Amino acid sequence: MVFKKVLTKLRKGGGELVGYSVSVICIVQIIALIIGFVQFGNVKMRVNNAVMVAGRDIAVCTSRAEAEETAYNTVYNLLRESKLIDMDTLNVTVEFYNDEDSRWQKGNYVVVKVEVWNKNTPLALLNGAFHTQELVMIERVTEE
Amino acid sequence: MIKKLRKGNGILIFGVAWMLVIFFLVIMFIEVFFARQNAMNTQIAADSIANGVAVYMTYEGNSYTDAVRERDYVKSLVNLYTFHDPTDTRISDASLDYHSLIEDNVVDIKVTGDFSYMTNLNTSYGENGNTGYYTVHTGAMTEYTNYGRDLIHTAEAYLGCLYDYGSSGETNHQPSFYKLIYTYADHEYYGYGDSIPDCRADIDTEEYYEAWLENVGIEYRTEYALNHAEEGLSPDELNQARDNYIDNIRSDVEYSTDDNSRMFDCSGFVSYIYSTVSGVSGRVDTEMIGDSSNNDYRVGVTHVLPGDIILVNGGDHAVLFVEWEGNRFRCIGVSGGDESTYANDNGSVRVSESDLSSVPCVKYSYYNIGDVVACYHYSAPEELFQ
């Protein structure tokens, strides 16, 4: 009985209601897209900034192990307050740019790479792992 | 048209317009997203290049050309490993001028990224009317040590100069004339044996030198002629050989009065080298180098640069840092002497390279990190005497 009434109302011009409902869904999706990009952009900026700070920190480390530990701690402290990053997936590596010369000595270059999992964005497309990396020249002189 | 609108099509038009607004709004946010990412990528590239060049200039770079070469190298690495591709990088040549860098200690760099895929935003970020690019202007602190290398090169010119407690280059070591004769003549013939008099003996005077030329020298010439008469030399050749022989002795005596005969103690050597490079006269002793008022110039052992002053042996000995050799400091300084040391006790002339290890003189020395009490880095050599 109720269903018939609804059908009757729709036939009498309730299409506007349906159209509006569909439009609302589309608009919500678009807003979600915008919010998703804003959130992802902020996360990316945070990670990029963390990589830059970590790069400056490890430049004065005295060994690769110390550099990885320092980089991890720096990045962790800078990102831990973000609710959009899954900190359990945080992976920080420091690798020599040249495998043939992997000595920790002044003048050699290393690449610090931060990989995290972006989560909870309204846009599922942007959820997932992404990484940022920076090239850093070693400023300390020797591996003790 | 108006009638149709009145019949309800206006809603359609309004809806389309509204959707277009939302569409462009989305596009705008997406562009802003990419703009921020591109800007940050350019910033990271600038950071890598500026810091790489700054560090490079502290230990190897000697000129603006070197900085540009390193910049291009780092740029290629940035492109290879982080996939950022700056379209243009420029280093300010003014900031890498030797003197201005002493004042500024900055590698001034501009890195430009290409925003070609979002031309409608370019004008907001273009520099000097150039659209399509985003430019990051950044600087990195550097301890560019051109003067440090000058210090080392200057110090190396005095390798082998002898130790004299309290001297800072103002004292010339006068080599013993006996030693010279001993060196050039047959000492057994003249009976000098192994007994070489102290170089400060009164006999080591200019008057004695002239007397030797007049007496012993003539005697020696005669003896030389007799010993070489059988070699078949003509009288002229024989005279020439004798004169050359005597001239060699004379030149060594004259040699003793040049820079290579200067004498130093450890802090005197440091003072002399800094004074020579800066053109500012001054003298500091080891206690003054380690004085608490110099804490502004104190740096950690891992930040020491060529030409920096290092205090070792409990703070009683000052040397100049040259370079790292493994975990050891390679230094140059005057070592091996003490308060009782005056030059080399046997009165020799400037010691040879092979003698450097055993003679109290200017030489290379090696220290471990544990030996170091303090390191001092002056941004300009004249600051040592302030």
The answer to whether A107 contacts B41, with C-beta atoms less than 8 Å apart, is no
CB contact under 8 A, B302 and A141: yes
With contacts defined as CB-CB under 8 Å, which chain A residues touch B59? 106-107
Q: Is the pLDDT of residue B118 over 70?
A: no
**Integer Cα distance of B41 and B60 in angstroms:** 28
Which of B120-129, B178-187, B212-221 is the least confident region? B178-187
Q: Give the separation between CA A47 and CA A55, rounded to whole angstroms.
A: 12
- Average confidence (pLDDT) over A94-115: 83
Q: Which residues contact A125 (CB under 8 A, 6 or more apart)?
A: A36
Give the pLDDT of residue B249: 57
pLDDT value for B187: 35
**B302 and A138: CB-CB below 8 Å?**
no
Asked if the C-beta of A119 comes within 8 angstroms of chain B's C-beta atoms, the answer is: no
Which among B323, B333, B296 has a CA at the least distance from the CA of B159?
A: B333
* pLDDT band of B317, cuts 50, 70, 90: very high
Q: What is the pLDDT of residue B77?
A: 85
Give the pLDDT confidence of A20-71 residue by residue, as tens digits: 888 888 888 878 877 887 888 888 888 988 998 898 888 888 888 889 999 9
User: CB–CB of A106 and B74 under 8 A?
Assistant: no
CB contact under 8 A, B326 and A139: no
Q: How many CA atoms lie within 13 A of B244 on its CB side?
A: 6
Task: Kindly report which listed range (B26-30, B149-153, B214-218, B279-283) carries the lowest average pLDDT score.
Answer: B214-218
Mutate to test the interface with A, among B81, B136, B303, B310 (most CBs of A within 10 A): B81
Greater confidence (B89 vs B376) lies with B376
State percent of chain A over pLDDT 70. 83
The residue type found at B242 is: R
Distance of alpha carbon B244 from alpha carbon B100, whole angstroms = 51
**Which residue in B41, B48, B59 is closest to A135 by CB distance?**
B48
Sequence-separated (6 or more) residues with CB below 8 Å from residue A106: A138, A139, A140, A141, A142, B55, B59, B324
Element (H, E) at A143: none
Closest CA to B86 of B127, B54, B121, B40: B40
| Residue B99: burial class (beta carbons within 10 Å; 0-12, 13-18, 19+) | exposed
- CB within 8 Å: A51 and B44: yes
Q: In terms of pLDDT, which residue wins out, B212 or A132?
A: A132
Residue with tokens 């608009």: A27
- Range scoring the smallest mean pLDDT among A80-94, B301-315, B340-354, B367-381: B340-354
CA end-to-end distance (rounded Å), chain B = 89
> What are phi and psi for residue B378, nearest 5 degrees?
-100, 130
How many CB atoms are located within 10 Å of the residue B141 CB? Answer: 13
The H-or-E segment that residue A108 falls in is none
> What is the mean pLDDT of the segment spanning B141-150?
70
For residue B126, pLDDT over 60 is answered with no
Task: Tell me how far apart the alpha carbons of residues B386 and B382 are, in angstroms, rounded to a whole number.
Answer: 7
Residue B5 is predicted with a pLDDT of 57
Amino acid in position B59: Y
Closest CA to B245 of B322, B317, B184, B311: B184
Note the pTM of the prediction, 2 decimals. Answer: 0.55
CA atoms within 13 A on the CB side of A15: 5
CB within 8 Å: A133 and B81: yes
Q: How far apart are CA B359 and CA B351, in angstroms?
A: 8
pLDDT computed for residue B62 by the predictor: 67
More confident residue, B345 or B148: B148
pLDDT tier at B211, thresholds 50, 70, 90: low
- Tens of pLDDT, residues B343-385: 654 444 455 555 556 667 888 889 998 889 999 988 778 888 8
Residue B204, pLDDT score: 45
**Which chain A residue's Cα is nearest to B76?**
A135
Residues B46-53: what's their mean pLDDT? 86
A:B CB pairs within 8 Å: 93
Report CA torsion sign: A28, A29, A33, A35: positive
Cβ neighbors of B12 (< 8 A, separation 6 or more) are none
Contact criterion met (CB below 8 Å) for A135 and B52: yes
Distance, CA of B300 to CA of B373 (rounded, Å): 10
Confidence of residue B175 (pLDDT cuts 50, 70, 90): low
* B256 close to B179: Cβ distance less than 8 angstroms: no
Alpha-carbon gap, residue B184 to B249, rounded angstroms: 7
DSSP H helical ranges for chain B: 2-4, 10-59, 64-82, 98-104, 119-125, 146-156, 177-184, 187-190, 206-214, 216-227, 235-255, 266-278, 286-289
> Which amino acid is located at B290 in the chain?
G
Contact A111 B81 (CB under 8 A): yes
**Residue A38: closest C-alpha in chain B:** B33
Radius of gyration of chain A (CA): 25
Question: Could you tell me if A93 lies within 8 Å of chain B, comparing CB atoms?
Answer: no
**Which amino acid would we find at residue A48?**
N
A110 DSSP β-pair partners: A96, A136
Please state, in angstroms and rounded to a whole number, the distance separating the CA atoms of residues B65 and B72: 11
| The pair of three-digit structure tokens given for residue B125, joined into one six-digit string | 């970020």
Owner of token pair 């047959």: B186
Tell which wins on pLDDT, B297 or B100.
Answer: B297
Q: Nearest Cα to A44, choosing from B40, B360, B306?
A: B40
* pLDDT-derived band at B183, boundaries 50, 70, 90: very low
Q: Measure the CA–CA gap between B77 and B120, rounded to whole angstroms.
A: 31
